[in-house]
Amino acid sequence: MYNLMKIREVSSKYNVTARTLRYYEDIGLLTSIRNDDVTYRMYDEHAIKRIEQILILRKLNISIKDIQRIFATSHSDVVLDILGKKVDHIDD
């Protein structure tokens, strides 16, 4: 099996609460791996990269709604639009 991290480990490593990680999962930004043997959430390398992306976007004060839009499309137009609006907001 591949390298998995427990929710507690991710929470500690990235200084984000487990509640926040569960929220991201509830709204579809993130997926975890769970099996019948354990009740806690496990994150694979893909999920860890997604967490890192989410946290960077949040540090840029990108809204959850806009992050959902970014992840829902494969076109760079959405990202450029959101970041352009952020720049305009900063300029104001």
Summarised one tens digit per residue, pLDDT across range 42-89 is 999 999 999 999 999 999 888 999 899 888 887 777 778 887 887 777
Tell me the residue length of the chain.
92
- With beta carbons less than 8 A apart as the criterion, state whether 74 and 81 touch: no
Give 1-24 pLDDT, tens digit per residue.
Answer: 468 899 999 999 999 999 999 999
Q: Where in the chain is the domain with CATH 1.10.1660.10?
A: 1-59
Return the CATH class of domain 1-59: mainly alpha
Give the residue from 90, 91, 92, 28 showing the smallest Cα distance to 65: 28
- Supply the DSSP string of 44-81, one letter for each residue: -HHHHHHHHHHHHHHHTT--HHHHHHHHH-S-HHHHHH
